[in-house]
Structure 1
Amino acid sequence: MQASKRRFLIGVPLAASALLLGAAQGKPQKERVIKVEARKFRFAPNVIEVRQGEAVVLELRALDFAHGFNIPELQTRIDLVPGKTVKLRLQPAQAGRFGFLCDNFCGAGHEEMAGTLVVTA
């Protein structure tokens, strides 16, 4: 067998072992990015699904007005400024359904500007 082929066959299991070992030692995992747009009177998407313990970054962008993004049960809140993207890092520790809403009055349909963060085990 050629030396380069032998090194490849040995290197693949070693690389896989290193990845598994890194995960077992609590190395930071890559964050999943989820883009969310806010406009009168809705969030898109209005249902966000993540896994329990998954590291995610919500990239939130207000398209028309200064909105708020609030997940009361997770004690998480951020202001959204029109035309700017803000990042909110989450790593939900518990499974469940958590409502989110705009908490900056934005007009007659404001009460309907809400959604759900679904965290699965």
Structure 2
Amino acid sequence: MGAAPLLLTAARAVPAQTAEAQVVKIVAQRFHYTPGEFRVKAGRPVLLEFTALDFVHGFNMPDLKVRADLPPGTVTRVALPAAPPGSYDFVCDNFCGDHHEEMHGRMIVEA
């Protein structure tokens, strides 16, 4: 019973901090993401909308512990939490051919 007031307080604080997500559209195609680098504002959640053109690519952003498969022919939405300023690398983690290791990108979070 002692935890209930704490949970209520935390639940009330969340809506006040919630910001509209920044939407970034990304195309995944052997052997690159377009755009390969993009910028977002700190403190706001991000919604990535992926379209894979030719293969079931992967998306892995280890620093934020976010991973998804990107099947072709559909839009795959990946929600990222609000992140502090910095640079966050992501890679394709589904082997997609000879130049697979070159398929990577970067999200830059600006203050």
TM-score relative to the length of structure 2: 0.81
Q: Percent identity?
A: 43
* Aligned counterparts of 2:22 and 2:83: Cα–Cα separation in 1: 16
Please name the residue that 1:73 is paired with.
63
Determine the structure 2 residue equivalent to 1:83. Answer: 73
- Bigger Rg, which one: 1
How far, CA to CA, are the matches of 1:32 and 1:93 in structure 2? 12
Q: RMSD over aligned Cα, in angstroms?
A: 1.4
Equivalent of residue 54 in structure 1, options 23, 44, 48 = 44
Deviations 1:74-108 (A, max 9, x none): 11101000111111112333211111010000000
Gaps (5+ residues) in structure 2? 1-14
- Provide TM-score, normalisation by structure 1: 0.75
Kept in 2, the 8 Å contact 1:53–1:93? The answer is yes
Q: Count how many residue pairs are aligned between Structure 1 and Structure 2.
A: 97
Contiguous gaps of at least 5 residues in structure 1: 1-24
Q: Deviations over 1:50-73 (max 9, x none)?
A: 111112210011100010000011
